[in-house]
Amino acid sequence: MLTYRPLVLGVLATVLAALLYLQAGRAIDDGDAGALALAAIGIAALVGASSWYSTRAASRDQVALEGSDRTRLVRHVIALGPVHRTRAQAGRLVSTSTDAVERSAQYRATFLGSVIGSLLAPLAVVAIIAAAIDLRIALLLLAAVPVVPLAIGGFRKIFRKVSTSYRASARRLAAEYLDSLQGLPTLRGLGAGRARGAALAVHAERVRADVMRLLAGNQLVLFVTDAVFSLAMIVLATGLAMAGAAAGTLTAGEAVAVVLLSTLMTEPVDRIGQFFYIGMGGIASGKEIARTLATPMPRAAADAPEPTDDDGSIVLEDVTFTYGRDASTPVLAGFSLEVRRGERVVLAGRSGAGKSTVLGLIQGHLAAQSGAVRVGGHEVRDVSPAWLHRRLGIVAQQTYLFTGSLAENLRLAAPEASEADLWEALRRARLEAEVRAWPRGLDTPVGERGMSLSGGQAQRVGIARALLADAPILLLDEPTSQTDLDAEAEILAAIAELCEDRTVLAVGHTEAVLSSSTRIVTVGGAA
């Protein structure tokens, strides 16, 4: 989206400045020092006011554009769903939605409109010279105007590779840096912090080198435009003005006005030189955003029809799934499973056999390369995510808690839940007594990612969420694998109550389910 205020303001400011230059020329011819002084003051005031308003308007436009672009981008990524987000590096998505959006908005707010306006300005100046001074001089100056867009295109081609390289290296650095922060405990535990830091330093050096090459290109643009076009335009205008004055076709004031007006015709190259870095970065960022927005939506769009029937079953039929592009080693190959309403089935198998992958396919977080995945009798890819999520209760290996209060985190599963509902869910999750002992109770902040809670407490919050969601199908992904023995007994007791009257598919040796399981299915082996 182009902002038109810089364009209109640029042309208007140029026309007003041209008229003031003409007035200054007439004042010279009339010998009116007062009029000349007023014209000079008017020019200075116009330049100052134009610069002030342009900066202010560009700032407002940039904020508006950033908000609009970031909203579109985030909504699109959310609509794409977990299938896309598991394939994309989180750091790249963050870089695109922050740095790329900011640069693209800055390009359109401060560069694009003002450059287009400055390209139109010389035409307005030529028209004024033709009408008020001399048609022949106007036509000769007009012949030099096409050099500007040709220069823009040439410089873009020259520095396109440098700009693209910079954006790519910046995205890589952002991705690696975010991955390092997210995996900091692992890096410290393995003693790999220094090695990771050295790798980040290498990426940072690449970004610095790319930035310096882009800035060097910007300085080259400034030199070429100032030394060639701007100087040539003013020299040409001065020569024409002197020739006209000597021939008697121009007055002294008109000759001075021609030289002054020629300075306005250098505005396009001045503008390009000042903002070339912003322009190249903005173009590359815009392409990056466009690529993300061009990612096709999955079939299960938010507006997909919601089935009215639900047989409470889970069915995987001849499913093949492969991570990445290496189809020669699929995690699941022709895997089939049926869990009927009310059954309690446990998935067993070695680590890496694909147990958690099965749960990811059922939730729609992953998409099978072949085969069918059905929940409640309906293909997962053909129903809306909202319908699917209302039928699935999830207790994962590690419960994710958002920054905020305990009540806010619980109400993610049931936004309309009353305080009494929250306490009942905590009671059934074996957490009520502990929360009541906290000074702030339900209003207790859980900290970033739930860091203020123990692993066992966080898992029981996850069980309380599943109870509040009251979904007919329950998926358990080794919910006690990351808790200590003291917390495990409480978690297992809470899970036993949670599993009542539900279809259950559990991963791992979850004793609360194993004791009453219908059957055990081995992934990567015989059932």
Q: Which two tokens stand for residue 485?
A: 């023995």
Q: Are residues 399 and 261 in the same domain?
A: no
Q: Does 309 map to a domain?
A: no
Segment 83-97 mean pLDDT: 62
| Tens-digit pLDDT profile for residues 400-443 | 788 788 898 888 888 888 989 999 888 888 888 888 998 888 88
Asked if 173 contacts 200 with a C-beta cutoff of 8 angstroms, the reply is: yes
Q: In terms of domains, do 249 and 374 share one?
A: no
Query: Domain range spanning residue 495?
Result: 314-522
Do residues 148 and 229 lie in contact, with contact meaning Cβ atoms separated by under 8 Å?
yes
CATH number at residue 333: 3.40.50.300
**CA–CA–CA angle 93, 396, 175 (5° rounding):** 20
* CA dihedral (405, 410, 412, 417) positive or negative: negative
Distance CA 319, CA 330 (A): 10
CATH number of the domain that 269 lies in?
1.20.1560.10
Average pLDDT in the 249-265 region?
A: 84
Rounded to two decimals, the pTM is 0.55
| 325 plus 283 within the same structural domain | no
> Residue 279, SS3?
helix
**527 pLDDT higher than 50:** no
Indicate the DSSP class of residue 351. Answer: T
Are 340 and 226 contained in the same domain?
no
Q: Are 407 and 482 within one domain?
A: yes
Cα(417)–Cα(468) distance, integer angstroms: 8
Q: Are residues 157 and 189 in the same domain?
A: yes
Which residue from 246, 274, 244 is spatially nearest to 259, judged by alpha carbons?
244
| 201 and 73 in a common domain | yes
Whether 285 and 322 map to the same domain: the answer is no
Is 301 inside a domain boundary?
A: no
Contacts of 183 (CB under 8 A, 6+ apart): none
In contact, 117 and 275? CB cutoff 8 Å: no
In three-state secondary structure terms, 321 is strand
Q: In what order do the strands lie in the sheet with 332-339?
A: 332-339, 314-321, 370-375, 378-379
> In angstroms, how far is the first alpha carbon of the chain from the final one?
58
Single residue among 228, 259, 293 that ends a domain in this structure = 293
205 and 121 co-located in one domain: yes
* % of the chain with per-residue pLDDT over 70: 73
| Cα–Cα–Cα angle for 285, 298, 287, rounded to 5 degrees | 10
Q: Which residues make Cβ contacts (< 8 Å) with residue 445, sequence separation at least 6?
A: 403, 404, 405, 406, 452
Residue 302 lies in a domain: no
Whether residue 59 is found in the same domain as residue 112: yes
pLDDT in tens, 477-509: 877 765 666 667 777 777 777 777 788 888 875
295-334 confidence digits (pLDDT tens)? 766 554 455 667 777 778 889 888 888 876 555 678 888 8
